[in-house]
Amino acid sequence: MKKLLAIVDQLGAHVPNSEQADNAISEVNIAWHIEHACLVIIKITETIKQSKPQQYNSKFNFKKLFVFITGKFPRGRAKAPAAVMPQSQIDQAVLIDSIEKAKQAISELNNCAKNQFFLHPIFGNLNKRQTLHFLGIHTKHHLRIIQDIIK
């Protein structure tokens, strides 16, 4: 959890650059990437907190294994679900609030049972440990895009 909190802090460091964009790298600006990464953490935490650990089951998933081993997502392959799509206008105050909410959500995962889970549309059920790993990979993915935009 400390690693994920540190990654979210790195997102926060890019709030001053939130309006920057580079269409050759991403169709959206830095603010969108920060807000999306925070929304993913917040929404997934909400889902996990409501899940029943006794309903968790795990199945082999090659795509999940590949991403979890490499620690990377291919760019431009997946479309974010509507629930984690940021609003069109995102100002710095919204971003700062979202970063704080994401940090709070991460700390709330501490109170979840190890087999509380969420159903990922591609990777299947992810328990708490797998979810933390996924959130780290996902957030780093957007952080790398942000860093490429800034270059």
Query: Side-chain half-sphere of 87: how many Cα atoms within 13 Å?
Result: 6
- Per-residue model confidence as pLDDT tens digits over 111-140: 999 999 999 999 999 999 999 999 999 999
Tokens at residue 120, please? 């990922």
- Per-residue model confidence as pLDDT tens digits over 88-97: 789 999 999 9
Helices (H), ranges, the chain: 2-12, 30-50, 62-70, 92-109, 128-150
Distance from C-alpha of 15 to C-alpha of 33, rounded to nearest angstrom:
10
The per-residue pLDDT for 81 is 83
Spell out the domain ranges in the chain.
Answer: 2-150
Mean pLDDT on 38-58: 98
Q: How far apart are the first and last CA of the chain?
A: 29
The per-residue pLDDT for 87 is 80
Distance from C-alpha of 22 to C-alpha of 113, rounded to nearest angstrom:
41
Residues 6+ positions from 84 with CB-CB distance below 8 Å: 36, 39, 40, 43
Residues 6+ positions from 3 with CB-CB distance below 8 Å: 136
Whole-model pTM?
Answer: 0.95
Residue 98, pLDDT > 90, answer yes
- How is domain 2-150 classified at the CATH fold level? Four Helix Bundle (Hemerythrin (Met), subunit A) (1.20.120)
